[in-house]
Structures are given as C-alpha cells and as structure tokens.
A = this chain, B = another copy of it.
Amino acid sequence: MLRLSKKTDYGLLALRYLAAEAPAGVASARAIAERYDIPVELLAKVLQQLARLGYVAAQKGAHGGYHLTRPASAISLAEIVQAIDGPLAITACGRDEEQCEQFGTCTVRDPLVRVTERILSVLQTMTLAEMVPGEGAMPMVWRGAAR
C-alpha cells in the first residue's frame, strides 16, 4: 500500500539522532534503541546495513558505537530508503528479473516508471539535514525544487 518499511523508519530515526542529538556524533545501537523504544537487535541490523553501505562507521568494543561518515546535508532520503529497502520500485516489474506474468501485454508499465522517477526525485530533494529543524542548513528554497 505504498508504505516504506519499519526498518527504513527506524534507520531514519537513528541517522537523524546521530546527526542532531548524539553527544559527540557517536551513539551505540543500544542507546538509540532505548531512546526511541525500538527492539535493539532490529535497529542493530539496520545500522549494520548502513555501515556496510558506508553511510555510517562502526566502532566496536566498549564505548563504541556508530557515527556518520558524511555531513547530514549530503545524505538524501532517497539514499537511505534504497540502502535499507533496496532499489525503489513501485511495481513488481520494477527491477531485476522479477517480472510479472503480464509483462508482455502490459500497457501501463511505461507511465508507471515515469511516476517512479518522479517519486525518486522527491526523495532525492529531501536531505537528512532538512529533518532536524534547529541544526544544520534549513534552506527556504522549497518552491520550484521539483526535478
């Protein structure tokens, strides 16, 4: 029903925390999970994935944790979503060989990929920095930002 997964939701929450509220920009999975009342292991998994993709760096051992590797203004919502949920696709035919039965006779595929591209561009124009009101840059250049 056009919903993004809870994992993405949690990941977003965590990244925003690292960007805005974390003591020295560093926080452990446990700390973030307790702050937002999220299952620890699940959030850990999300952060692991983000670490694998290089959005955050992990520090093991005591007093370890995660920290951002890029400025929050350089991380788009689109990147986060795709890092966790995989490539953005509105339909089943969206990516890979995952094509549906009616791939051959389908007449709405092309219009829908156009829609997908536009949604992607919406996600790309929203950066992590714009999600934290006080901190970072909060540019007032909203209008005309499409595309």
Contact = CB atoms under 8 A, between A and B. Distances in A.
Interface of A: 1-6, 9, 12-13, 16-17, 20, 35-38, 77, 81, 85-86, 88-92, 94, 100-102, 105-108, 111-112, 114-115, 118-119, 122-123, 126, 130-132, 143-147
Given A2-B85, A81-B2, A106-B36, A111 B126 contact: yes
A36 to B, nearest CB: 5
B3 A90 contact: yes
Nearest to A122: B118
Contacts of A9: 91-92, 100, 108
Contacts of A4: 1-2, 90-91
